[in-house]
Amino acid sequence: MIVPDHQYLDTLMPTSPESRAIAKLAWEAAWERLGNALRPPEGYPEPTPEELAQCYWNAQSRLDEVRVAFNVQPPQ
């Protein structure tokens, strides 16, 4: 999976109430998926290393989208 470049991502999403809501929901879903991969609930299979990495990079990407949607600048 390719992690988006921060400068490119900054041009993709305008900061609007709708984009903030979408970014927040996507982050919450990715966070829950990562949590389930790190500690599978009873009855869930253990993730493969590839699935765990995919969950991590998806969560990282969604967190970057939240940063952009809320106009939070990365540290210099």
Over residues 28-61, the pLDDT tens digits come to 999 999 999 999 999 999 999 999 999 999 999 9
Please, which pLDDT band fits residue 14 given cuts at 50, 70 and 90? low
Percent residues over pLDDT 90 in the chain: 67
Q: Is the pTM of this model over 0.85?
A: no
User: What single-letter amino acid sits at 35?
Assistant: G
Report the alpha-carbon angle 34-39-42, nearest 5.
Answer: 120
Report the alpha-carbon angle 45-23-60, nearest 5.
Answer: 50
> In this predicted structure, what is the pLDDT of residue 11?
52
